Every structure is written in structure tokens, then in C-alpha cells.
């Protein structure tokens, strides 16, 4: 079990600023997360995770404990970001949870084929959305034992 007080970091990749705000607010309400990092497209997500471009300084891009990933993203698609994370020797242990509006079979199976850790569809309605965020936070950052950070 994770030690209390340790800063927990969620990387949220979401192009819709309204949805990002909803996620941020729900998580903050339930105090399950100390820190949330929001990136609006696939390319900057990759740059952050692989510490390239604007994120080449590791201090500016700490390893997240969880990645919340939308699938339909500008520039680089969410599925491509997932693939890149799961194919990387260092990053593939980070839990990735897809959070999207799409519930088509094609998207779901593609995500699981590329080793997504969980697939969540954004619910329509405040209560459901709020509850999902709460459960998500408790589950991934509370109950779940995360991989121990690798030596950097």
C-alpha cells in the first residue's frame, strides 16, 4: 500500500477543455489526488512522457502514477500514445486508463490489444461522472498497488 502523504500524479490527456475541467474538479473534490497534469493533444503527451521538446528537463516532467487518456486527440491519436507507452521499456509499467466518449467495439478491442489497463466511457450526467472519477481515484491511487518506481 502506498504511503500516505506521497504526492500522487495523474497525467490527463484530453483535448476538450470542458471535460478536462470536469475531471479535474471531480478528482479534487474527493481529495484522491495531489497533482493533475493536463495535456491537450497526443503529441505533447508523448513529448512529456519521453521528455522531449518542452519537457526535456526531467524536473518538468515527473513520472505520472496514472495516465488518463482520451482516444480522439488532435495530431497524434490516443491509440498511438497508448502504443508508444506500452512499447517503451521504461514507461510500459505505468497504468494507462482510457477515458473517452467512444464505446465502439473497434476502439475498445484496439485499446486492449495494445495493453490498456482499463477502458472507461465518459458517462453523460453529473452524478455518474462524479462517481466514476471518485471510484477511479480510489481504485487506481488507493486500492491498487502501483509498480515501484524504477531507479532513475
| Residues within the interface to other proteins (CB under 8 A) | 15-19, 21-22, 25, 40-41, 72-75, 100-102, 104, 106, 122-127, 129-130
Q: Measured from the CB of residue 106, what is the shortest distance to other proteins in angstroms?
A: 8
User: Which has the closest alpha carbon to 93: 134, 63, 48, 61?
Assistant: 63
Q: Measured from the CB of residue 53, what is the shortest distance to other proteins in angstroms?
A: 13
Tell me whether residue 72 or residue 86 sits nearer to other proteins (CB atom): 72
Residue 126 has a CB neighbour count (10 Å cut-off) of: 10
Tell me whether residue 65 or residue 122 sits nearer to other proteins (CB atom): 122
Long-range contacts formed by 21-27: CB under 8 A, 24+ apart: 22/129, 23/68, 23/99, 23/133, 26/129, 26/130, 26/132, 26/133, 26/134, 27/133, 27/137
Tell me whether residue 9 or residue 121 sits nearer to other proteins (CB atom): 121
Q: Measured from the CB of residue 16, what is the shortest distance to other proteins in angstroms?
A: 6
Tell me whether residue 30 or residue 63 sits nearer to other proteins (CB atom): 30
Amino acid at each position: 500500500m502506498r504511503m500516505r502523504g506521497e504526492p500522487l500524479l495523474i497525467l490527463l490527456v484530453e483535448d476538450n477543455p470542458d471535460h478536462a475541467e470536469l475531471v479535474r474538479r471531480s478528482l479534487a473534490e474527493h481529495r484522491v489526488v495531489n497533482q493533475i497534469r493536463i495535456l491537450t493533444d497526443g503529441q505533447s503527451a508523448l513529448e512529456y512522457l519521453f521528455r522531449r521538446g518542452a519537457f526535456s528537463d526531467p524536473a518538468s516532467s515527473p513520472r505520472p502514477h496514472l495516465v488518463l487518456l482520451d482516444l480522439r486527440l488532435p495530431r497524434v491519436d490516443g491509440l498511438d500514445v497508448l502504443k508508444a507507452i506500452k512499447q517503451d521499456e521504461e514507461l510500459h509499467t505505468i497504468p494507462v486508463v482510457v477515458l473517452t466518449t467512444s464505446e465502439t467495439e473497434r476502439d475498445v478491442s484496439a485499446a486492449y490489444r495494445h495493453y490498456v489497463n482499463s477502458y472507461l466511457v465518459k458517462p453523460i450526467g453529473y452524478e455518474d461522472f462524479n462517481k466514476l472519477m471518485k471510484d477511479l481515484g480510489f481504485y487506481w491511487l488507493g486500492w491498487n498497488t502501483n509498480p515501484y518506481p524504477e531507479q532513475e
